[in-house]
Chain A
C-alpha cells in the first residue's frame, strides 16, 4: 500500500495504482480530467496531456520533486508522494494550454454535433478553456468516412486520443484500424477504408471522447439532453446485455454501454444490442439511469457557473484585417 497526498488530501492506495486512479478514489475537484486514458483499454493514456500534474515530492525514499509535469494517467504512485493538481499554478497553466491546442483545429460545431451534451471536450473547455481563440488560421478539415454501415468517422472533430485504435487493436486480430500520417496531419483511418467487421466495433463510439465516431442509427435523431436514459438488459449470447437505452417519448432512439461518473463504460456491449434492438419489447427495463458525472445531460450543470465575460463586437479581432 502507498500513501499519497493529492492537493492536501491523503489517500491510501494499492501499489501500482496511477496518480489518476488515486485521485479518482478521492473524487471531486482533485481529479485531473482525462481525454485519452480509459481504464478498460490496455495501453491507453499519455497522449492528450490534459491530466498533467505536478509532483512536489517524489516519495518518502526520494523526496525530490519531479522536474517536469507528469501525466497522472501513466505515472504510478510511490509511498509518500505529494501531488499538486488544482493547487499547482504550473499544472493549471499547462492544462489551459493543452485545451487551447485541442481546440485549435476542432471545428466547434457543437450545434450540429451528436456528441454535444455528453462530450468530454465540451466539458473540458468549459472547465479549463478560454472564451476566445487566439488562432486565426483555417482549421483542418477531412471528408467524412464510414467505418462499416453503422459507424461514421468525422475526423475533423477528432482529438487523436487513440482510444478507438486501442479498441480495434484489442477486439480484432488483423490490424485494420489505426493512425496514418503524422503531426497535425495525422488521422484515424481504417486500412484502405476497410470496415472494422467485428461484433464489438460499436464500442469505438462509446469510447470516443468527442463527436468523431458517431452512431449512424442515431444521427440527427435528437439532442441527447432531450432523451431519457434508462438502465435495461436483455439476454444476449455475445455480451452481458446490460445497457443504457435512451428514450424519446416511447421510442428507443439509441443504446449505449453503461457509463460511470468518469464517462467510461462498465462493460463493452455487442453490436446486436447496440444497433439492432431498438424496440421497447426487446428490453427488460430496470429503472432510470442516474447520470452522476457533471455534464449537460445532468440537469442544470452550468447553473452555477460564472457567466461568461461579455465582449463587444469591436473587441473581436476581425479575421479579415
Chain B
C-alpha cells in the first residue's frame, strides 16, 4: 500500500464537515504556523520539502513563493487555481469534493507565509456544485475562528473568497485567470512582468494549484524534511493521478513519486490492468497536452530503464522518446484505439478553447482541426499528415501563453509515434459525418444546419 498524505482521510464518513475534519487533526498546520513559526520559516519549510507545482509546469513552489515581491504598503494575494479543465484531469475536483477543509487549511497557512490578507479560490465554472461545498467549509472556518480578524489571537487576519469562472480552459493559465478574476476578458497577459511582481490588481500575487496548496498542510504538520523523504530525487512527495481510459479501475489515486508506471497500470491497487485484458497501446501521462507515448516507451525509457511516476523519469528522453508528468491526467488507450481519432478530439478541444489573442494559435488550432476532420472523413491525403506536422511546428513556442504548445505537442507526438494510424485513416476512412463541421466562425449551429 502506497503512502497517502493528502487523501489519507478522504473516505472517512463526514470528513466534508468541520467536526470530523478537526477530529482527524485538521487545522493543526494553521495552529503550528501561526503560533510557533514566522512567515519566513513557513516559506523555508516549503522550500525544504521540494514540493513542485502540481498544476502541470512542475515549478518548485517554495522558490515561486520566495520570488514574491514585497513592496511597502501594497497588498499581496494568494490565488488558488482550481480551474481544472485539462482533458483527462479530475484530481482537484475529487480533492475539493471529498475534503474541502484541506484546501481551506492550506490556503490559510500559505497566505500566512506569503503575508496575504486576502486570497481567492478561482474555481472552474463547470464545478458549480463544488462552490457550495467550499463555501460551506469557509463558513465553518469563519465560525470556528480560522478565518477572519486576528486568527488564534495573533495579528494575522485573513479573508477567503470563492470565485467561479465562466467556463474557459484558458483561464487556467495564471495570467488569464487573474484577468478573469479582475472581471475582464480572460486573455493571458504578456510576461514579464510576472504575477509575483504585478499580479492581481497589479499587486504581487502567487497563483498555485489546488493540490500544491493542499500539500502545504502535511509539509507544515510533519516538516519539510519528512515530506522530502517521500518520493524520489527532485520529485518529492505524492501526486494525485487521475486515471481514465481503457483500465479496469479508473479514478483518482494518490501515488508516491517514483512508483513504476507498469505497476500503476497493472497492479490491483491502482488501475488494475487493461480493460478486457487487451494489449496496451498508448498512454497520455499528464493530461491531454503532454506528448502521447506508445506502450514500450511508457513502460521503459529509451535506455531500457523502467519508467517511473516522477517529473524526471517521465521526461527522460525529451520529446523524442519521453513525455511529462504534467497535471497527472493519466489516459490509457488499448490496442483498439486509433490515435488519430483520439487526436481529433484533443485538437477540437484546443480549437474551441483558444482565446484568439495571438495569430498562430487562433488560426493554427482551427486549421489543424479542419485537417484532422478531413482525414477522419476519408478525404485526407498523405500530404495532409506532413502539413499537420508543419503547422504544429509553426505554433509551438511562438505564442503568448502555453496553450499554443499544449495544442501542438499532442499533434507532434501522435504523428511521431503513430503515423501509421493516420495513414490507415487516409486509406480506410472512419466515416465521420461531413455535416458535423464546426461552423462557429459562420455562426451556424451544426445541430441546426
Contact = CB atoms under 8 A, between A and B. Distances in A.
Contacts of A185: 356, 440-441, 443
Interface string B421-449: 00000000000000000001111000000
Given A49-B398, A178-B185, A184 B440 contact: yes
Contacts of A135: 367
Contacts of B398: 49, 52, 68-69, 94, 97-98
From DSSP, what is the main secondary structure of chain B's interface residues?
A: helix
A141 B363 contact: no
Contacts of B351: 183-184
Nearest to B362: A184
B397 A137 contact: no
B356 A186 contact: yes
Interface string A13-34: 0000000000000000000000
- The contact size tier of chain A is 20 to 34
Contact of A49 (B353, B359, B443): B359
A97 B394 contact: yes
A46 B185 contact: no
Contacts of B338: none
B398 to A, nearest CB: 5
Contacts, number: 100
A100 interface: yes
A141 B356 contact: no
A137 B367 contact: yes
Given A98-B394, A184-B365, A185-B440, A159 B354 contact: no
A179 interface: yes
Interface residues of B, number: 34
Contact of B354 (A100, A137, A182): A182
Contact of A184 (B391, B393, B397, B441): B441
A24 to B, nearest CB: 19
Given A69-B397, A160-B356, A178-B185, A183 B362 contact: yes
Contact of B364 (A46, A101, A137): A101
B356 A184 contact: yes
Contact of B363 (A46, A52, A104, A134): A104
A178 to B, nearest CB: 7
B55 to A, nearest CB: 20
Interface in B132-167: none
A183 B349 CA distance: 11
Interface string B227-247: 000000000000000000000
Nearest to B400: A46
A47 B442 contact: no
Interface in A180-236: 181-186
Given A46-B400, A97-B394, A178-B185, A183 B359 contact: no
A100 B363 CA distance: 9
Interface string A78-90: 0000000000000
Contacts of B360: 49, 97-98, 101
B366 A183 contact: yes
Given A74-B190, A183-B351, A183-B440, A47 B358 contact: yes
Given A135-B367, A184-B366, 11 more contacts: A46-B190, A48-B359, A74-B190, A94-B398, A100-B394, A102-B363, A137-B367, A160-B357, A183-B362, A185-B440, A186-B355
The 9 A-B residue pairs with the shortest CB-CB distance, nearest first, are A97-B394, A186-B356, A140-B441, A183-B354, A184-B366, A101-B363, A185-B440, A46-B190, A104-B363
Interface of B: 168, 170, 185, 190, 351-360, 362-367, 370, 387, 391, 393-395, 397-400, 440-443
